[in-house]
A and B are shown apart, each in its own frame.
Chain A
Amino acid sequence: MINKLLNKPYRYFLIVIPVLLFVGFLIPLRNAKINPDLTRYLPQDTESKLNLEKIEETFGHNDPIIIIFESDDILNKSSLEKISAIQDSLTDSPVFSDVISIFATKNIRGDEGFMLVDPAIKSIPENDKEKEELRQEIKNNPLAYKLLISEDFRYAVMIINPEKGHSDSEIVSKTKETINKIWGSEKYYMSGMLYLREEIQQKAMRDLMILMPLALLVMILFLYFSFREKRGVVLPMLVVIISTGVSMGLMPLLGYEFSIIAVLVPILMISVANNYGVHIVSKYQELNAANPNDNMDALVTKSMKSVANPVLLTGLTTIAGVLGLIVHIMLPAKQTGIVCSIGIALALILSLYFLPAILIGMKKGKINKSFKENAKTFIDKLLVKAAHISVNKPKNVIIIFSLIFAISVIGIFRLNVSINNEKMMSKSHDIRKSTKIINEHFGGTKYISVLFEGDIKDPAVISEMDELEQLLKSKKQTGSVNSLSSIIKIMSKALNDVDDVAYNKIPDSREAIAQYIEFYNMSGDPEDFEKFVDFNYTQAVVSVQFRAENIKEFNSIILEIQQFCDKSEYAKYQAGISIVEKDMAMSIINGQIYSLALAMITIIILLWIIFKSFRTGLLGTVPLIFTITCNFGLMGWAGIELDIATSLLSSIAIGIGVDYTIHLFWRIKSEIENGKNITEAINICLTTTGRGIAINAISVILGFSVLFLSGILILKTFAFLIIFSLLLCLICALVLVPSILKIYPNIIAKKN
């Protein structure tokens, strides 16, 4: 079939169609939609998501940008003037709904028969005396001190809530523009989920888009260095570029949105797609050296005859492996699985038809020096060494690999699920610094709301809210707790004198609470209450701000609140974006585990069918299990937290690992069938087929090392983990699998 298609009239179609396909698929990319909000993809019945939606319906959506201004003394005239100007400018902008800072908060207090309601800053101090008076006032203002101004007066916080219907990038750029214009060159830091999303979206994606072509260039250079022939470069790379382009173009065409998970598409495609081409070119070179008198027709036909089957099988198993993502709970992961399988199928077809169609029309090339005696390249020497080790010291190899495996398993127990997405950025990034400041000087970056239901004006309900507030305040991670009960307490201090019974107390009658609230509505801003209680006073929230470095600290607060809700009559449930994000990370990780398990089973079955031996199928998964275990183990030891992106990278191991193994099995098996013993078969396989594997792996490794140039930590982590996975797959293929086969040759060769 292949040979027939390679005849002239068909050949041109084989070349033109893929090129047209590529161009055609690039067009829909212009309409690609980027969706930065992954939580939307969580299944609708996820409890934390439902709870958050219910709370947001009543109390509004909360996704602010947080700004921290730094100054030697934030009460300096110039600093305060600037913050006030920024507050005014942002409040006036139609992009923002409300802006909270020291200039938008009140100072409510009581004094000998008076109740005073002032802005927290009545006027900007003109001299040192006024400044110190203001400092004292702020220290006594529970609505400002340590909430909006840090204890040491070096930092001031501004919380900016955007109006609905504006894009993240519009919100971030408008905020930055305003602050840069007014605050000038003094230090300020930005934080907030919205800002992080935008940073990852814009910078990480942009870096990836710039660095990917560079990665391809590095791969091209390496392939040229290895094959010493232009065709060795052009052909596999054409396959990579066309199939990657088409799979990316498929996303908008199928109506899929780009999310952080979709980043996996080009990474996986680039890692996998050149596999097939490299093996074909490598085989052609091998045959060219062995049969110097054959013409191109004969060489290409013979090459295809010999590699087409293993290439087809590697392609099919990779597709099966990647399709494991289809059972993933998260839609974008499913979509990635679908798009990548189609992309890999295309790469496979291109390698089997398009590539030989071009190759056959080329002039015969020179014999590669790898195949000449005494002129071995570095890779060739490496392969000989690998074969030597596998053949002579297989037991040592297995012991060493077992040790590494054991250490990795221990590492997995140290693995943490990330709850702080800002860790995707490097330590020097704005968002890491601001998080540190918020954790050290303000209440922390995690927010959770606890919903209370009942007659909110009932002293029993308010007292229970106060009880939760006191309980949480006693925990060292808690930064601030705010609710209707805290406002009522502030009012009880303002409306009563220190020696009054009612001072700093929740009133014990419903009337008194109703009157406090009504009074606040008359004199204050009724919107102040809307964050804490609904219009009909049947639902209220206690809002908790806290610090959590890791998932243990996070869970301890959640558990505390859960236990409170369980025994409380009025406290119903807790919700917060941070809980949804944690659930999402967990479901992506769990989903990935299911996907990997499914992929593994599919691969065992496929290998079992292909090699007609269950044991071969099992051995085929050894490199995969080893690579994935070491990958997660290394993350555990290196303190790299498991998150959406890092967990999905394990799919790459499936894609690549299985390819290497099949090529290896195929060749060793056919050498044994040709009458060679296992030692000879391993030696021949590693120096020929092994060459293709090594060239392929090293070119992809070098290509991805380009990502280290990015200033963004998550891309560096990406690169590190991808390279590590590829390297492990390579070592498994060149050393571990041959060593196992040396000891147990029966796995692959039937006893005669």
Chain B
Amino acid sequence: MKKLIILIYTLTFLSMSLLNAQDAKEIVNNSTKAIMSDAMEMTSTLKIYDNKGNVRTRQVKNTTKKFGDATKTMIKFLSPADVQGTGMLIYDYEEKDDDMWVYLPSLKKTRRIVSSEKSSSFMGSEFSNSDMSKPKMSDYEYKLLGTETINGKEYYKIESTCKSPEIETSENFKRKIAYIEKVTYLPYKTETYDKDNKLIKTITMTDYRKQTNGKYMAYKMVAENNKNGRKSEIIITSFVTTSSLEENYFSTSNLEK
């Protein structure tokens, strides 16, 4: 009898934790569905603050669309004046190294960049490149830590932990905790922790606006670096989902225009 009770308990516990894991992954999936867009064109202002409050402001136009296994991105500087027209074209492949071209208007020339190193920083800001792209679900273990109420809204607290030390090294963190709103599945905040379990970065996403395709986009994103006291923010000034863009838009000749 005793053994049976233990068995029931164990089974219940196991199924609960399985359910838990399932829940966590599903919440993340729902969240990704709620915000992700495969094709978009946006203009944004990137502000990079140092720890003394000095600021660098850049205006950038950013176009992205996925073609087959490649996500193609075109970045163009609109301001400040001295870098206006500087552009970058990136083909981000799922399996192989990225292809990358840069156009410097002062040299009037496009140069192909071959880099085995992915810069960890997004355009010199506190956002990392992986913050700006869709995470590979299979790289992480997900766990629902519970719920928390912030400003009257209830959020799931989802922990994602890197599955292997290699992933840890390449992503430069050990685990993240995401706060996902219960009703809309929109992420509000992500906390990034390093190997020593120290909080290294907090990203908050606010000003969500519904797009024509029914998905949401955060118009304001702030990344705070807890290690060096720096802060960066991206404010989207215009945003359109552009499913009609042709693949030849993402070409080096277009980069030079």
Interface size on A, residues (CB 8 A): 34
Q: Which residues of B contact A496 (CB under 8 A)?
A: 107
Given contacts A514-B82, A518-B83, A518-B86, contact A535 B121 (CB under 8 A): no
Judged by a CB distance under 8 angstroms, whether B123 is at the interface is: yes
CB pair A512–B104 under 8 Å, yes or no, is yes
The smallest beta-carbon distance between A722 and chain B, in angstroms, is 49
Given contacts A521-B124, A535-B56, A536-B54, contact A106 B117 (CB under 8 A): yes
Q: Mark A514-543, 1 if CB is under 8 A from B, else 0.
A: 111011011111100000000110000000
Judged by a CB distance under 8 angstroms, whether A122 is at the interface is: yes
Chain A residue, CB-CB nearest to B111:
A115
| A525 interface neighbour in B75, B121, B196, Cβ under 8 Å | B121
Chain B residue, CB-CB nearest to A521:
B124
Judged by a CB distance under 8 angstroms, whether A511 is at the interface is: yes
Given contacts A518-B86, A523-B100, contact A113 B117 (CB under 8 A): no
CB pair B111–A114 under 8 Å, yes or no, is yes
Q: Which residues of B contact A535 (CB under 8 A)?
A: 50, 52, 54, 56
Q: Which residues of A contact B121 (CB under 8 A)?
A: 521, 525-526
Q: Which residues of A contact B109 (CB under 8 A)?
A: 495
CB pair B113–A515 under 8 Å, yes or no, is no
Q: Which residues of B contact A118 (CB under 8 A)?
A: 114-117
Judged by a CB distance under 8 angstroms, whether B77 is at the interface is: yes
Complex-state Cα separation, A119 to B195, whole angstroms: 23
Q: Which residues of A contact B83 (CB under 8 A)?
A: 511, 514-515, 518
Q: Mark B104-134, 1 if CB is under 8 A from A, else 0.
A: 1111010111111101110110000000000
Given contacts A106-B117, A522-B88, A535-B56, contact A515 B106 (CB under 8 A): yes
Judged by a CB distance under 8 angstroms, whether A470 is at the interface is: no
Q: Which residues of B contact A116 (CB under 8 A)?
A: 113-115
Judged by a CB distance under 8 angstroms, whether A117 is at the interface is: yes
| B104 interface neighbour in A113, A114, A516, A526, Cβ under 8 Å | A516
Q: Which of B80, B86, B88 has the most CB of A within 10 A?
A: B86
Q: Which residues of B contact A512 (CB under 8 A)?
A: 104, 106-107
CB pair A526–B124 under 8 Å, yes or no, is yes
Judged by a CB distance under 8 angstroms, whether B180 is at the interface is: no
The smallest beta-carbon distance between A330 and chain B, in angstroms, is 33
Complex-state Cα separation, A507 to B105, whole angstroms: 13
Chain B residue, CB-CB nearest to A496:
B107
Complex-state Cα separation, A535 to B80, whole angstroms: 15
Chain A residue, CB-CB nearest to B84:
A511
CB pair A114–B113 under 8 Å, yes or no, is yes
The smallest beta-carbon distance between B84 and chain A, in angstroms, is 8
Judged by a CB distance under 8 angstroms, whether B24 is at the interface is: no
Q: Which residues of B contact A523 (CB under 8 A)?
A: 100, 102, 113, 115, 119
Q: Which residues of B contact A507 (CB under 8 A)?
A: 106
Q: Which residues of B contact A522 (CB under 8 A)?
A: 75, 88, 102, 119, 123-124
Judged by a CB distance under 8 angstroms, whether A9 is at the interface is: no
The smallest beta-carbon distance between B124 and chain A, in angstroms, is 4
Judged by a CB distance under 8 angstroms, whether A289 is at the interface is: no
Chain A residue, CB-CB nearest to B81:
A511
Judged by a CB distance under 8 angstroms, whether A388 is at the interface is: no
Q: Which residues of B contact A525 (CB under 8 A)?
A: 119-121
CB pair A457–B54 under 8 Å, yes or no, is no
Instruction: Give chain A interface residues in 100-124, CB to chain B under 8 Å.
Output: 106, 110, 113-119, 122
Judged by a CB distance under 8 angstroms, whether A510 is at the interface is: yes
The smallest beta-carbon distance between A745 and chain B, in angstroms, is 76
The smallest beta-carbon distance between A446 and chain B, in angstroms, is 29
The smallest beta-carbon distance between B174 and chain A, in angstroms, is 11
Chain A residue, CB-CB nearest to B110:
A113
Q: Mark B52-89, 1 if CB is under 8 A from A, else 0.
A: 10101000000000000000000101001111001010
CB pair B119–A515 under 8 Å, yes or no, is no
Chain A residue, CB-CB nearest to B56:
A535
Complex-state Cα separation, A512 to B105, whole angstroms: 8
CB pair B111–A113 under 8 Å, yes or no, is yes
Judged by a CB distance under 8 angstroms, whether A94 is at the interface is: yes
Judged by a CB distance under 8 angstroms, whether A509 is at the interface is: yes
Complex-state Cα separation, A432 to B3, whole angstroms: 72
Q: Which residues of A contact B54 (CB under 8 A)?
A: 535-536
Judged by a CB distance under 8 angstroms, whether A73 is at the interface is: no
| B114 interface neighbour in A115, A518, A524, A536, Cβ under 8 Å | A115
Q: Mark A189-200, 1 if CB is under 8 A from B, else 0.
A: 000000000000
Q: Which residues of A contact B196 (CB under 8 A)?
A: 94
Judged by a CB distance under 8 angstroms, whether A743 is at the interface is: no
Complex-state Cα separation, A71 to B106, whole angstroms: 46
Q: Which residues of B contact A524 (CB under 8 A)?
A: 119
Q: Which residues of A contact B119 (CB under 8 A)?
A: 522-525
Judged by a CB distance under 8 angstroms, whether A502 is at the interface is: yes
Judged by a CB distance under 8 angstroms, whether A92 is at the interface is: yes
Complex-state Cα separation, A113 to B102, whole angstroms: 11
Complex-state Cα separation, A106 to B116, whole angstroms: 11
Complex-state Cα separation, A117 to B75, whole angstroms: 19
The smallest beta-carbon distance between B77 and chain A, in angstroms, is 7
The smallest beta-carbon distance between B228 and chain A, in angstroms, is 9
Q: Which of A94, A516, A522, A536 has the most CB of B within 10 A?
A: A522
Complex-state Cα separation, A521 to B127, whole angstroms: 13
Complex-state Cα separation, A502 to B106, whole angstroms: 11
Given contacts A502-B107, A507-B106, A523-B102, contact A115 B86 (CB under 8 A): no
The smallest beta-carbon distance between B231 and chain A, in angstroms, is 12
Chain A residue, CB-CB nearest to B58:
A518
Q: Mark B179-201, 1 if CB is under 8 A from A, else 0.
A: 00000000000000001101000
The smallest beta-carbon distance between A537 and chain B, in angstroms, is 9
CB pair B86–A515 under 8 Å, yes or no, is yes
Q: Which residues of A contact B100 (CB under 8 A)?
A: 523
CB pair B114–A114 under 8 Å, yes or no, is yes
Q: Which residues of A contact B124 (CB under 8 A)?
A: 518, 521-522, 526
The smallest beta-carbon distance between B89 and chain A, in angstroms, is 12
Q: Mark A205-228, 1 if CB is under 8 A from B, else 0.
A: 000000000000000000000000
User: A511-B106, A519-B102, A524-B119 are known contacts; what are 7 more A-B pairs with Cβ within 8 Å?
Assistant: A117-B115, A119-B116, A509-B106, A511-B105, A523-B100, A525-B119, A525-B120
Can you list 10 pairs linking A and B with CB atoms under 8 Å apart? A115-B111, A117-B117, A119-B116, A512-B107, A515-B82, A515-B105, A522-B124, A523-B113, A523-B115, A536-B56
Instruction: Report the 8 A-B pairs with minimum CB-CB distance, sorted nearest first.
Output: A512-B106, A521-B124, A514-B82, A526-B124, A117-B115, A535-B50, A515-B104, A518-B83
